[in-house]
Amino acid sequence: MTEQPVPLAALSKDQRTQAYTRFTIIRSALEDGVSQAHVARIHNVPASTVQRWVKRYREKGIAGLADEERSDKGTSRRLPPDAITLVEELVLQTPPRSVAAIHRQVTAIAREQGWNPPSYARVRQIMQSFVPSITASGLAGGRNRLIGMLIPSLTWPLIPDLLRGIADAIENTPYELVLYSVKDEDLERDRSEVISRLLATQLTAGLLAVFPARASQQLTRLYQQGFPVVIIDDQLEQTTPWVGTDNTAGAYMAVRHLIKLGHRRIAHIQGPNEYLASHDRYNGYRQALLDEGITPDPELVLEGDFMPPTGRSCAKKLFELPLEKRPTAIFAATDQMAYGVLSAAEEHGISIPQDIALVGFDDDAPSAHVRPALTTIRQPVYEMGKSGMELLLSMVSSQQRLTQEGRYPARTWHTTGGEGTRDAQHPLPTRILLPTSLVVRESCGANYQITISTSSGEDVLS
């Protein structure tokens, strides 16, 4: 019979930390279908232990992952100094080992040496008291060799190229990457919890966060406190070191290309209003029209959510407009929404690019293989990953140097009119804005002779 779940509030602070740490280890097995054997292998935990934790989680929830407080807590179990030193030496080994693994090894050695075997709680206490001290000294001595990375779901289209750039930047360094992916559901809560768990180890030298959204507020506080943080492609205004793409210039380039092909009625399917990239891409679209003396038509601007279904629904609305009001070209704020436009066009018997030209944004991998192949704006995703990691490593190196010299980097931050300001001793955090490029394929009609009816009634061949 399944036991009643234990409320987290009933656990001690140490028990909650233990429960969250174990949940982090088994989460991929619970939610992503990763085998328990694989989880055990990558985390250096016995398979039987992972199996036991999964069983306890399913019976009692997260709180069930915490060990019960030992009945001998508070009693004297003296350990010789050599035993304590042994625990500390095992803590320093890489990859990091679990409390259970260290407790088993210390117990075996203690019996061989004739020592009083330590309790699990005693080993954990030694490890927890030792970790904070090695964090400070380890930074100076170069022992903090873990770089944390927070990413959206691994299914996010840009992740493969981003990871390739990050891997190339870190490959020839002494650092190892600790990767945390967050599901799309309840992003704000999950990302904040992941950040807290990652930092709880106190062994992470820096953090690279990809698209952290509202969790960026927590990351900004960490940066202000002196912890090295770099954000890649966030959707909020940042006061933290940041690497991103020039969305406005990219959108401007896409619409200018359509205008040069003779289009005047150009629709825009934009992203969610709360995202910075949506505004930047809309501004680029709008400015390109205004620069050519074209007044933007609000009826031709629709809001999607960056994904194919909304691209499809928005395109259907555009295709149902009277012929004289229908656009001759569509600029979709993402390739994913452009795929939805292709689907809607097929349903309505509309030919792309012969009837309506189409341009996307991102240059996702499938864009070269859809039919017609999608003209799009390529984001420098590989370069973003590489630049972000290189920037973070330089910050970590700088902090290590200051720590070795007995100085600590200040992070006092002030904002005026939305822009960060620092005094001469504390310059503004680095912001790297990478350029985009236009990839011309079939969907825009550049390689076709297409007749476009202009508002003046003249026909323009492109």
Superfamily of 247-379+438-461 according to CATH: Response regulator (3.40.50.2300)
pLDDT at residue number 224? 75
- Residues constituting the chain: 462
Question: Do residues 173 and 393 lie in contact, with contact meaning Cβ atoms separated by under 8 Å?
Answer: yes
Whether pTM exceeds 0.75: no
Strand order in the sheet with 204-210: 176-181, 146-151, 204-210, 229-232, 242-245, 431-434
Question: Do residues 384 and 244 lie in contact, with contact meaning Cβ atoms separated by under 8 Å?
Answer: yes
Residue 115: count of CB within 10 angstroms of its CB:
17
Q: In which element (H, E) is residue 121 found?
A: helix 120-141
Nearest CA to 429 out of 452, 408, 413, 405 is that of: 413
Report residues of the chain scoring pLDDT below 70: 1-9, 69-78, 92-97, 128-144, 153, 155, 182-203, 213-216, 234-238, 399-429, 448-462
- How far apart are alpha carbons 282 and 324 in whole angstroms? 23
**Domain extent listing, the chain:** 1-69, 75-143, 146-244+382-431, 247-379+438-461
> Are 1-69 and 146-244+382-431 in the same CATH fold?
no
pLDDT at residue number 241? 87
Question: Do residues 170 and 205 lie in contact, with contact meaning Cβ atoms separated by under 8 Å?
Answer: no
Determine the residue type at 144.
N
- Is the domain defined by 146-244+382-431 classed in CATH 3.40.50.2300? yes
- Is the domain defined by 1-69 classed in CATH 1.10.8? no
Which tokens sit at 21?
């740490």
Residue 72: count of CB within 10 angstroms of its CB:
11
φ, ψ of residue 359 in degrees (nearest 5): -135, 140
Enter the CATH code of domain 75-143.
1.10.10
Q: In which element (H, E) is residue 416 found?
A: strand 414-416
pLDDT at residue number 9? 66
